[in-house]
Amino acid sequence: MADRLPKQSEDFPGWYVEVVKRAELAEHGPARGSMIIRPYGFAIWENIQRALDDRFKATGHENFYFPLLIPMHLLAAEAQHVEGFKLQAAVVTQGGGETLDEPLVIRPTSEAVIWPTYARWIQSYRDLPLLYNQWCNVLRWEMRTRLFLRTSEFLWQEGHTAHATREEAWDEALRMLEVYREVAEDVLGIPVIPGRKSESERFPGADETLPIEAMMRDAKALQCGTSHFLGQNFAKAYDVKFLNPEGRQEYAWGTSWGFTTRMIGGTIMAHGDDKGLRLPPAIAPIQVVIVPIYRSDEERSAVLDVAGKLRDDLAGNGVRAKLDDRDQHRPGYKFGEWELKGVPVRVELGPRDVEAGQVVLVDRVTGDKRSVSLAEATSGMAGTLDEVQLALFEDARAYRDENTHQIDDFDSFAAGVEEKGGFWVGPWCGSPECEEKVSAATKASLRVLPLEREDPRGPCIVCGKPGTERAIWARAY
């Protein structure tokens, strides 16, 4: 390996940049703000996609596809929506060598092209609900970019549903929030807090925005997915009406929800250590790497024979296994490379192991080594991977708990955020002015409010008026 990675504790941003580069996940594209996702990074995304898509299908959704370009007048129809995306929109004004009659917006999100279409698809209550999702790229102009976390163009899924009643739409928004929580925790191994955003942090055009929030290993927060309850806002803007069972016209109720390639960055920052990535087995492109150890040609052929069979047996059991049989690199080099790339389990196999019918397993999370029989290496691998998956989750949860603090008073809160980051929990009166004061004084934002209002347990930390909510504050990406 080249130089050592920067230490997380000394230079977390530098560590992140180097890990993304050296693990061959992504690099900057030629246009400012753009990103080239390399095969190893894209394989992680494909596994995230599959985990989400299976759950979307299981909850009754279908996929469709809408166009990249949106005529400007459509985006302008929902006042808050156009205002919210005005500064982030890229606009095409020329085509075929001529100035266009109407500029076309490159989608920053697709409500403005989907809801006018829903107006044609929805006539009666019998047409509802519409439960659809699309996988696509979107573009939001960014000058301060960081690979995966903040790029102009990114990949995501956007769900768009329409319902006959408020209750159904609200239940849908909650259902998809729960799907996101499950994927974040059970698949990515990242503990999250589901809840509500304050009004100032809402999606433009939504009545309620429901996020899942996580803590990264530098004690900063990352929003990991959002589900929006749109009320009837988009239905009114695009005239989406239906005839209810009583024969009256009503506006449809809507939701939208999105999960993006940002979560590759989230996974890197929630689990990585000074040696590089630590990937959760559920999304690791390679779950087990087998590194053969030999000196002579004779040893080589005996070891590779057994190693190849082990790889095939693991693959037959549904484990994503790779045999690293490159001759040009020594085992020590390979160990470092696969640790950097976050492969959950390494199998070491040398001539003596072959004689004894055993292998050495090394777990990327704890670094523990143990010898097991070849048969056990195959039959027990799924269980070992489950243990690694759980260990990563528990590790991240312990870190979050250590870095979550109760707010006693405003000054110690402000000093604490500055000194050690973390989540800070305390009573808030609900006023945007107090929220703004906290942000201005601490650079922390209101990350999440509990789904069900809790007893605030005291007066607002800013103004001292009676609290109405318990809010979680943090500095965030």
Binding site residues, Zn ion, CB under 5 A: 429, 434, 460, 462-463
The HSE-up count of residue 8 (CA atoms within 13 Å, CB side) is 15
Contacts (Cβ under 8 Å, ≥6 apart) of 38: 24, 25, 26, 27
The HSE-up count of residue 139 (CA atoms within 13 Å, CB side) is 17
CB of 435 to Zn ion, least distance (A): 8
C-beta of 366 vs 412, nearer to Zn ion = 412
Report the distance separating Cα 16 and Cα 175, nearest Å. Answer: 33
Report the distance separating Cα 327 and Cα 35, nearest Å. Answer: 33
C-beta of 310 vs 462, nearer to Zn ion = 462
CB of 436 to Zn ion, least distance (A): 10
CB of 223 to Zn ion, least distance (A): 23
C-beta of 179 vs 429, nearer to Zn ion = 429
Max Cα distance, the chain (Å): 84
C-beta of 283 vs 429, nearer to Zn ion = 429
C-beta of 61 vs 197, nearer to Zn ion = 197
CB of 426 to Zn ion, least distance (A): 11
In this structure, what are the phi and psi dihedrals at residue 30, rounded to the nearest 5 degrees?
Answer: -65, -35
CB of 461 to Zn ion, least distance (A): 7
Contact of 369 with 375, CB cutoff 8 Å: no
Strand residue runs (E) in 76-170? 90-95, 98-106, 130-139, 153-163
C-beta of 212 vs 417, nearer to Zn ion = 417
Contact of 213 with 466, CB cutoff 8 Å: no
Report the distance separating Cα 204 and Cα 91, nearest Å. Answer: 19
CB of 467 to Zn ion, least distance (A): 8
The β-bridge partners of 363 are 345
Within 10 Å of residue 84's Cβ, how many Cβ atoms?
Answer: 18
CB of 429 to Zn ion, least distance (A): 3
CB of 1 to Zn ion, least distance (A): 52
Starting at the edge strand found earlier in the chain, the sheet holding 345-349 runs: 321-323, 288-292, 345-349, 358-363, 369-373
C-beta of 285 vs 467, nearer to Zn ion = 467
C-beta of 187 vs 429, nearer to Zn ion = 429
